[in-house]
Amino acid sequence: MIVPRKHMQNNNRRAFIKKALFVTGGVALQSCQTQAPQEILPEAPKPKPTPLPDGLNQEHFQLHNPKPLALESLRDKVGMSPITSTRRLFVRNNLPRPSQDIVVHSDQWTLDITGVMNPKTLSLSQLQQLGIETLYAVLQCSGNGRAFFTHGPSGSPWATGAAGCVQWTGVPLSVVFTACGGIIPNMKYLTATGGEILPKDVPRNKSIVERSIPIEKAQQDCILAWELNGEPIPISHGGPLRLIVPGYFGCNQIKYVQQISATKEQSQAKIQQSGYRFRPIGEKGNTSHPSMWRMPVKSWIVNAYEDQIQHIYTMHGVAFSGERGIQAVEYSTNGETWIPAELYGIDLGSNAWRCFRFQTSSQENIQKIYTRAIDTQGEIQPKERIENERGYGNNSWLDHAFVLHKKEKNKENQDLDTILTQEKEEKGRALFTKEAKPPCGVCHTLDDAQTNAQIGPNLNLLQPTTARVERALKNGVGAMPSYGTQLSKEEIQTLAEYVAHAAKK
Amino acid sequence: MIVPRKHMQNNNRRAFIKKALFVTGGVALQSCQTQAPQEILPEAPKPKPTPLPDGLNQEHFQLHNPKPLALESLRDKVGMSPITSTRRLFVRNNLPRPSQDIVVHSDQWTLDITGVMNPKTLSLSQLQQLGIETLYAVLQCSGNGRAFFTHGPSGSPWATGAAGCVQWTGVPLSVVFTACGGIIPNMKYLTATGGEILPKDVPRNKSIVERSIPIEKAQQDCILAWELNGEPIPISHGGPLRLIVPGYFGCNQIKYVQQISATKEQSQAKIQQSGYRFRPIGEKGNTSHPSMWRMPVKSWIVNAYEDQIQHIYTMHGVAFSGERGIQAVEYSTNGETWIPAELYGIDLGSNAWRCFRFQTSSQENIQKIYTRAIDTQGEIQPKERIENERGYGNNSWLDHAFVLHKKEKNKENQDLDTILTQEKEEKGRALFTKEAKPPCGVCHTLDDAQTNAQIGPNLNLLQPTTARVERALKNGVGAMPSYGTQLSKEEIQTLAEYVAHAAKK
């Protein structure tokens, strides 16, 4: 058990936190902070209701993007149990998910295995006969916590809900390699390829969902899973077959996996070469920047109750550290004095999260409660996040504080409509439909431009701001390439203004 | 690890097993034996399709009774993972489930706690603030395996699918007792009362779902749970609050629990005094017979694959022993020579089940594969079941064999229609609607008798045989009282014939 620690740092609450969106305290504080601070969400989408896949219930989620789906679990809906229900688990796709047919006809799914002495193509049934293992692991998007960054990184503004802890069952990669005569010597990476349908007119490596991890990791504890929480993996979570890399960020857990290869080099895919890189703000990603592999130590409170007679808060939360597991969790009401929380439930292994609970007086005028986890290697969850271009890997305890009291919503920094000249509108539409290469309409639906593609988000539903479109055009985002070298600054500005306005028509 | 054992017993396959319903072998033997041998299911219900609660999918289940719901998980649908999905978990209610409102408005649920120094009524929210624990436990109906008994016991003919292993989260009973000043001295039992709506005209103790367990067990590891597999417990599984007695049979896991009491005596409810008793065939139940508390050591295969090129069967199964956990599992193709199976997945505690896997040659003409579990106290799953009136607690490895090859369905012992005289029909209808006390129509729907009650099964859907109705009338079943002393043999015979015929109209 960890004794309380006293830290002398000034509790420097930055301005943006002071302006945060607060919520009502009450007897059962179930509706805790489930959104990021308001002023750093100027681009929050206002989608029309859209049916979710796999029978998911909209009430448990915040929808960031309808297609490819980006669905955040509400902070207080993940429950108080170590294993998260599939029905409450976040969903994030890099490309639109394939047809439901591939899970209905899972017996027809095959996996190519190369970079081994005897390359093979195995059916799901053949994999199921090779060997079996069950493991418990946190599934977390690299961008979980992005909502707390203030520089406006591209991508969905996840707060805490792009994470869950689940049960996976499948065959160990080590068993598959052995069945294929072993790995060819000197291979350094395991490269896995997803089975999404790629957009036409976009080079394969710009759009394909393909990631590489160290080959030692692949041999150590990765599995090819066919069951999630005791059921065949549903389409939204990568069924019929998904690569599970325990302790690593979600981008490495390749859905609909159709090929695994032992390779000398990392994949040439954009999402490996420059994407999912932990890079300074303003820099382009390259292989010198750390890839989003192991998840660092992190914790947050998921719900809280207030006993208004005895003046006690009771709080529950989760804590994890990829490949390491958790030694202890502490909480603080001032960011200086730390008190141990109680862990409950059995330890489900070094890649699962631990649930914790604590009680504290509600009589003081507490506005926030902080938690920090300590992993089994003694690493302590840090106070500050590390600033980075894409808003990845946020594990700051300051950012993830649980906010207790309601204050007026901040109205600053809201997007203001501007007038779009007819000239700009026509130029923007031309760029959107034909002049940009590939044209935006190849991937996006936008009624005003009469395009109806479903590779990228439906812009009528997403309703992005000018700034968001501009950033996406300049830097690319997910499978979308950068147009920064192809289009001039003015063209990007015009196209962005056009999209922002047209989407709201 | 257990070394292979050789047993010298004659492999005495009884006649009824020879007549069993066999199924096709194939590359993926997913459709394994999910039903009991045909000739011991003469009374299998043929219900019309009926919507299931909580969005459950009929494809994963065999429906034994529509109301109160008795829904068996198909043998090959429980999956290959230690924790069973709620969507594939069997459902069994003693009485019709209460309104969905009690889970929608779970904040209004209260629990009375008596037999303690400071009796209290606590809300769900108050319980959630008292303390928290998560545990993993097998949930199994006492009658799981009843289908293999040959004397035709009353109740649903469960084969293997009245069992699953799940995650429960709630507050330990020991914490609740402490919060109430502790248990009054010399109390011997924990008595828990369900919140089902009781049928009118039936004495409380004849119908109420109320069970007692030893007070030491209650203090040791029982919890009052509000989450099942990471979600609020759905109505079909006892939400918003259920008593969990780890390692004990399902009848003790009181759903919709509204009262817990430390008591000197066991509950006076029929299901405690005479029901759920392990009693010789033909004897009435009483407190001298063992109550269905701890679950004995048991295992079965859930699915199988055949590699038709290499001639290998790959099989997966589950094994458990209440409060003890599993040390090893063995398999046999002849019931004499035993070979260790491989356990996989981490140990989720002494009340969870372990999953196992093994491979064996498919070249021999194997018809059945047997498994037997050995628990951590060294107890070995027995070959034979213990015969008992209600068909409880079957853990025979002979009965639970996995059947591999298809044979012609057995046509013997099928029910034959007989002619019902008009006189008998009128007398039967009179007994059904008014002469029996309470009349059958108070609880059952039967179109011919113009009754429409929903406490007991809808007889038009159940379509019971004469013999089944006769047994139920003589002995009672579940909440239904015995009419054995009130009605004459002839009256019971007439009433049974009437119901069997009328239900098929």
Q: DSSP readout, A203-269?
A: -HHHH--EEEEEHHHHHHH-EEEEEETTEEPPGGGTTT-EEE-TTB-GGGS-TT--EEEEESS---S
B344·A128 Cβ contact <8 A: no
Contact B83 A230 (CB under 8 A): yes
Integer Cα distance of B68 and B454 in angstroms: 8
Q: How far is CA A159 from CA A209, A248, A392, A490, B246, in A?
A: 24, 19, 12, 33, 37
User: What is the structure's pLDDT at B6?
Assistant: 28
> Which of A389-403, A424-438, B463-477 is predicted least confidently?
B463-477
Contact A86 B85 (CB under 8 A): yes
Q: Is A107 helix (H, G, I), strand (E, B) or coil?
A: helix
The shortest C-alpha distance from B441 to chain A (Å) reads: 39
Comparing alpha-carbon positions, the chain A residue that sits nearest to B168 is A81
Judge contact between B33 and B368, C-beta under 8 A.
no
**Which residues in chain B touch residue A31, judged by CB atoms under 8 angstroms apart?**
none
pLDDT in tens, A314-351: 999 999 999 999 999 999 999 999 999 999 999 999 99
Q: Which residue of A has its CA nearest to B313?
A: A129
Q: Pull the structure tokens for residue B451.
A: 């009754």
Shortest CA distance to B332 belongs to which of B398, B377, B412, B280?
A: B398
DSSP letters, B378-406, are: -PBPPSSPPP-TT------TTTTPEE-S-
- Local confidence band at A480 (pLDDT 50, 70, 90 cut-offs): confident
Q: Which residues of B touch A135 (CB under 8 A)?
A: 345-346
More confident residue, B368 or A467: B368
Percent pLDDT > 90 in chain B is: 73
Q: Could you give the strand order of the β-sheet that contains A61-65, starting from the edge strand earlier in sequence?
A: A61-65, A70-73, A91-92
**Residue keyed to tokens 């996976």:** A168
Interface test with B, best of A56, A103, A127, A231 (most B CBs within 10 A): A231
A86 to chain B: which residues are within 8 Å by CB? 85
Instruction: Kindly determine whether residue B231 and residue A128, on different chains, have CB atoms separated by under 8 Å.
Output: no
pLDDT band at B34 (very low <50, low <70, confident <90, very high): very low
Q: Could you tell me the pLDDT band of residue A312, with boundaries at 50, 70 and 90?
A: very high
| pLDDT for residue A26 | 31
E strand or H helix at B319: strand B312-320
List, in order of start, the domains of chain B with CATH numbers.
Answer: 15-51+295-403 (2.60.40.650), 83-273 (3.90.420.10), 422-503 (1.10.760.10)
Tokens 């394909």 identify what position? A208
**pLDDT, tens digit, 9 for 90 and up, residues A350-377:** 999 999 999 999 987 888 999 999 999 9
Both structure tokens of B367: 């018809």
DSSP secondary structure of A375-437: ETT-PBPPSSPPP-TT------TTTTPEE-S--PPP-TT--------HHHHHHHHHIIIIISS
Angstrom distance (rounded) from CA B114 to CA B130: 17
Q: What average pLDDT does the structure give for chain B?
A: 87
Task: Name chain A contacts of B107, Cβ cutoff 8 Å.
Answer: 28
Are A230 and B348 within 8 A, CB to CB?
A: no
Chain A residues inside the 8 Å CB shell of B131: 357
**AA identity, residue B402:** F
For the cut 70, the answer to whether the pLDDT of residue A2 exceeds it is: no
Dihedral sign, CA of B300, B306, B311, B312? negative
Among the partner-chain residues A230, A232, A346, the one whose CB lies closest to the CB of B84 is A230
| CB-CB under 8 Å, A355 with B134 | yes
Query: What percent of chain A is helix, strand and coil (3-state, nearest 5)?
Result: 20, 25, 50
- To the nearest whole angstrom, how far is the Cα of B328 from the nearest Cα of chain A? 17
Greatest CA span in chain A, whole angstroms? Answer: 69
Stretch among A249-258, B207-216, B451-460 having the lowest mean pLDDT: B451-460
Higher pLDDT, B489 or A92: A92
Average of per-residue pLDDT across A441-458: 86
Q: What confidence score (pLDDT) does residue B177 get?
A: 98
Verify whether the Cβ–Cβ distance B344 to A132 is below 8 Å.
yes
Closest Cβ–Cβ partner in B87, B133, B312 for A344: B133
| Position A167 confidence tier, pLDDT thresholds 50, 70, 90 | very high
- Mutant choice from B83, B316, B360, B361 vs A, greatest count of A C-beta within 10 A: B83
Residue to mutate among A30, A132, A314, with most B CBs inside 10 A, is: A132
Give the lowest-confidence range in A303-307, B338-342, B461-465. B461-465
Mean pLDDT of B292-301: 98
pLDDT band at A48 (very low <50, low <70, confident <90, very high): low
In terms of Cα–Cα distance, which of A374, A315, A325 is closest to A346? A325
Write down the pLDDT at residue B50: 64
> Is pLDDT at B385 greater than 90 in this prediction?
yes
Q: To 5 degrees, how large is the angle CA B242–CA B109–CA B98?
A: 65
Answer whether B345 sits within 8 Å of A134, measured CB to CB: yes
**pLDDT of residue B419 exceeding 90:** no
* Tens digits of residue pLDDT in B98-142: 999 999 999 999 999 999 999 999 999 999 999 999 999 999 999
Residues of A in contact with B167 (CB under 8 A): 81-83
The nearest CA of chain B is from the CA of A56 a distance in Å of 11
CB contact under 8 A, A169 and B80: yes
Q: What is the per-residue pLDDT for B505?
A: 79
Query: Per-residue pLDDT for B440 more than 60?
Result: yes
Distance between B33 CA and the closest CA of chain A, angstroms: 19
Per mean pLDDT, which range of B260-264, B284-288, B326-330, B477-481 is the poorest?
B477-481
In this structure, the strands spanning A339-340 and A242-244 are: unpaired
Q: Per-residue confidence at B346, pLDDT binned at 50, 70, 90?
A: very high
Q: B320-351: b or e for each residue (b if 16 or more CB lie within 10 Å)? A: bbbbbbbbbbbbbbebeebebbebbbbebbbb
ipTM: 0.77
Q: pLDDT, tens digit, for every residue of A71-101?
A: 999 998 999 999 999 999 999 999 999 999 9
Q: What Å distances lie between residue A309 and B117, B171, B451, CA to CA?
A: 21, 20, 51
Higher pLDDT, B84 or A451: B84
When the pLDDT of each residue in chain A is averaged and rounded to a whole number, the result is 87
The mean pLDDT value for A240-260 works out to 98
* CB within 8 Å: A132 and B357: yes
pLDDT in tens, B348-362: 999 999 999 999 999
Strongest mean pLDDT among A439-443, B373-377, B417-421: B373-377
Residue A10: the pLDDT is 29
Instruction: Between A252 and B424, name the one with better pLDDT.
Output: A252
Q: Which residues of A touch B126 (CB under 8 A)?
A: 307
Contact B88 A132 (CB under 8 A): no
pLDDT of B202 strictly over 90: yes
- Angstrom CA distances, A449 to A32, A428, A454, stand at 40, 10, 14
In Å, how far are A42, A131, A429 from A424, measured between CA atoms? 23, 60, 8
Choice between A22 and B384, residue whose per-residue pLDDT is larger: B384
Selecting from B83, B128, B129 the residue whose C-beta is nearest the C-beta of A83 gives B83
| The pLDDT of residue A449 is above 80 | yes
HSE toward the beta carbon, residue B424, CA cutoff 13 A: 17
Q: What is the pLDDT of residues A458-468, one digit of tens each?
A: 887 777 878 88
Is the CB of A344 less than 8 angstroms away from the CB of B79? no
By mean pLDDT, which of A21-30, A116-125, A389-398, B87-96 is the weakest?
A: A21-30
Interchain proximity B88–A231, CB inside 8 Å? yes
pLDDT tops 90 at residue A260 = yes
Residue B44 has pLDDT above 80, yes or no: no
Q: Is the pLDDT of residue A414 over 60?
A: no
pLDDT class of A50 with cuts at 50, 70, 90: low
Q: Which residues of A touch B307 (CB under 8 A)?
A: 126, 129
pLDDT over 70, % of chain A: 87
The owner of tokens 């015995």 is: B482
Mean pLDDT, range A96-112, rounded to an integer: 96
State the nearest Cα–Cα gap between B5 and chain A, in angstroms: 25
- List the one residue out of B443, B419, B418, B420 whose CA is nearest residue B432: B443
List the single residue in B132, B230, B316 with the smallest CB-CB distance to A132. Answer: B316
Contact between B237 and B246 (Cβ < 8 Å): no
Structure tokens at A58: 């909209």
Count, in order, helices (H) and strands (E) of chain A.
Answer: 11, 24
Sole residue written with tokens 């869950």: A164
- The per-residue pLDDT for A503 is 85
Residues of B with CB under 8 A from a CB of A: 27-28, 55, 78-88, 107, 125-126, 128-129, 131-136, 167, 169, 227, 229-232, 305, 307, 312, 314, 316, 344-346, 348-349, 355, 357, 359
What is the pLDDT averaged over residues B1-28?
A: 28
| B167 with A128: Cβ contact below 8 A | no
What pairs with residue A452 in β-bridges? A445
Asked if the Cβ–Cβ distance from A129 to B314 is below 8 Å, we say yes
The answer to which of A195-209, B180-194, B455-469 has the lowest mean pLDDT is B455-469
Mean pLDDT of A15-27: 28
B88/A230 CB distance under 8 A: yes
What is the distance in angstroms between the Cα of B460 and the nearest Cα belonging to chain A? 32
User: Residue B405's pLDDT band (boundaries 50, 70, 90)?
Assistant: low
A302: three-class secondary structure by DSSP: strand
